[in-house]
Every structure is written in structure tokens, then in C-alpha cells.
Homo-oligomer: A and B are copies of this chain.
Amino acid sequence: MADAIETLRTSIKALVESKKYSTIRDILHTMNAPDIASLLQEDMPEEILPLLFRLLPKDLAADTFVEMDSDTQQLLIRGFSDRELKEVVDELYVDDAVDLVEEMPANVVKRILQQADSEKRAMINNILKYPESSAGSIMTTEFVELHPNMTAASSIEDIRKSGIEKETINNCYVTDASRKLIGMVTIRRLIMADPATRIEDIMDDNLISVTTMEDQELVAQQFSKYNLIAMPVVDGEGRLVGIVTVDDVLDVMEEETTEDIEKMAAIIPDGSSLPYLKTSVLTIWKSRIPWLLLLMISATFTGMIITGFESALAKYVILTAYIPMLMDTGGNSGSQASVTIIRGISLGEIEFADIVRVIWKEARVAVMCGATLAVCNFLKLLVFDKLSVIVALTICLTLVVTILCAKLVGCTLPLLASKLGFDPAVMASPFITTIVDAISLLVYFRFAMILLGL
């Protein structure tokens, strides 16, 4: 795919040079907006970009514009005449227009809003007032609204008249005189129904809805739980103010998952949804350095523990050789547990109330893992490393206890974090590793003191 686009890009550049614009137009007309966007925005000389964009028919131009990254959008807008800008803005869905406005610098925003008609401008401003990551911020205010005493036939007539402007007409929402949401009817049901049937007799009044201030992550969970393709958004009084559509939810799911994965790897999400290759080195540094610093400082404790046992280590230098193995195995065991629990929490499968069941399950898994590893390791230490039984025993007992502690710390910390209102994802491997390192060293030296008489 990527290679095909590469080849096409070369052809287009050659066609531009020989001024074969109608050929280019014919090629572009056969393509989808996302593909045209990636064709135009990468490795294409800036000066020919507006020229190529003007070859697109109006609706394809708007769809392509939406798919472009914000740098390219800005470049195009700067090149647009007011009339051209208005043509693109007119074709944009409200929620896409909001996304655009949120990413442009103030002077560009001003030009965009000037070109939007007053109704669209009001809608954009309305959505902009909701906090980032709220249901309100990802909804669209274009939807089909029906009333309970309309008939199926008059509803379809209504949709025919107005629906062309709406982002989705698959679900039509029914409101009462005070605009309160009272039901939903699918376009399928409208078509199937006897034309004279009243909406209130075929509508589904058992609706899943969210309020404007709800977290977008919860909205995504509801889509997946209830198999939705759209979801109504209501204000504090239950009045319908917008709908969230499934295509935006797919984006939210990707974004939230990326954030979770980054947090698990001790990265602070930078809030932008820029792809890696477009993110500046400084931004990457800023998102990575805080945790590295914090974790480096907390690793001081492990250093202090070792220093405390310096004289013992000097007597049994061989013990030092197994510190990395013990620490790594502890870290890996802990992160297996924490990552499993964090994912369970974010899928809504596990909650704080399950803590006893989780601990009991992890304890059994830990004993089984610990026993397996200890037996294998014990044999290896005796046969290959030729250690004495007592030293091998010290190492293997430490291994069992370390794994048990690691699994228990790994499973309880994310649950505690969720209970206290923190993001459980932060309690993943790097954080757990630091704690488990200290525990494993303390256990190690304790066993060494007892068994080796240090």
C-alpha cells in the first residue's frame, strides 16, 4: 500500500511537470479521501499542493482536507482565497470543523469562523465550550430529530428534506416539546413500518445516553458494551444536544489505548495526537524525562540497600552475580501481573471490589511460577554454576519470595490507584520494578544472613 502510494506520488510529480492536469484529476477522482491525503501531504513540494487540491471536486476536497495533518491544513488555508476557504468549510461536518478549529493558530481560526455561515459558527462555538475529552467535545450537533406524533411517512419526508445535511441518519432521535430525549428509531424501522404508524408506537424508549460532561473513555466503553453505532448526548436537564458517532469513537479508542500504553511504559502522553514521526525531539524528551528522573532517584534506595550490605557482599562476591537475575525476574513477574490488572480495569472487567479475588488468584499463580523457576534455577546453579547447595538455596528461596511479592504488589497497586482516583496505568512495570528491586534485595540479604551466617 505504502509502496503503491510512493509510485503514484512519483507519477503525479511527473504529470505536474508536463502540466497534464486532466490526467491527474482523473486519477484523483478514483481515489478515497484518506489515500489522497497521504498522497498529498508527504514528500510533495509545497508549491504544487494547492494546485493539486484544486483539482478535487468539492465534496472530495472537504473529505480529503479532514484527513490531512494540521501542518498541511494550515499550509492549504494560507494559500486559499476566502471563497475557496468558504467552499471547504461549508462542506465540513460540524464535528470535523471543531477538530480543525481546535488545532489551528488563532489568526487562522478567525478566518475559518468568518467564512462559516452563522448557524455553523454557532454550532462550532457551542461544541468548543466543552472540556477536552468530554462527550460534548466529540459530539456533533447535526442529527435527525423526530417528534412522537409524527408518522413513519412524514418522518421519512422530513429526513428527505433535511437529512442531506446530517452526518448520520441511521439513528433518528425522538424528543418531546421541551426537547427532552424520549426515544430513538432506526431508519430501518422507519422504512419497514407501515407509513401511517406513529413514531411513538415504533420508537425504542429504552435508550443509552450520556451527558455532555461524561469522559470520552466511558463513552467508548458504552459503544463497545452495547454494540452502538451512535449515542445521544444530553444536557443536565435531559435535553438532546448532540450525538456521538462510531467513527469518532474508533479514534477515541485508539487515542485512549495509546495513552494507556504510554503511561505503562513511563511516558507522559503529550496530549497531541501527532504521529511519532511528526513529533519534535523536544516534545518526546519532555514526555520521557520526568519518569526517568523520578525512577532514577528512587533507584537510590536499592543502592543504599547494597551499600548497607557491602561488607557481607565483599565476603561472598558471588552473590552479586545473581542480583540482576533476581531483579529482572521480579520486575518481569510484577509487570505481568500489573499489566493484566490494568487492562482488566480499563476494559471494565475488574474493579476495586474484586481485590480479594484478584490477590488470591495472583498468589496461586505466583507460587506456581516461583516453584517452576526455583526448581529450574536450582538445578542450573548446582550443575552449571557449581555453587554449593546452601548458596543455591539462598538464591532460589529469594526467587520464590520475590516473585510472590512482585505479583502481589503488581496486582494491588493498580486497584488501589483506581480506588483513589488515579490512573491505574501509571502503576505499571517501571514503577513496580523499582519497588520490587528493593524488596528482592532486602529478601536476598536476609536469606544470606540466615543461611550463610553473614
Give A residues with C-beta under 8 Å from B.
2, 30-32, 34, 156, 159-160, 163-164, 169-170, 187-188, 191-192, 206, 208, 223-229, 246-247, 249-251, 253-254, 257-258, 260-262, 264-267, 275-277, 281-282, 284-285, 288-289, 291-293, 295-297, 299-300, 302-304, 306-307, 310, 313-314, 317-318, 320-325, 327-329, 331-333, 335-336, 338-341, 343-344, 347, 349-351, 353-354, 357-358, 361, 364-365, 368-369, 372-373, 376-377, 380, 429-430, 433-434, 437, 441
Contact = CB atoms under 8 A, between A and B. Distances in A.
A334 B438 CA distance: 21
Interface centre among A253, A339, A344 (most CB of B within 10 A): A339
B340 A276 contact: yes
Contacts of A281: 361, 364-365, 368
Contact of A229 (B246, B303, B310, B372): B246
Given A267-B340, A361-B281, A372-B293, A323 B323 contact: yes
21 contacts: A224-B250, A253-B253, A261-B264, A262-B339, A265-B338, A265-B339, A266-B336, A277-B349, A281-B361, A289-B372, A289-B373, A292-B372, A293-B372, A295-B332, A299-B329, A303-B325, A306-B324, A310-B317, A313-B317, A328-B430, A429-B429
A293 B376 CA distance: 8
B332 A291 contact: yes
Number of copies: 2
Contact of A31 (B164, B206, B253): B206
Nearest to A323: B323
A376 B358 CA distance: 39
B299 A335 contact: no
A223 B206 contact: no
Nearest to A372: B289
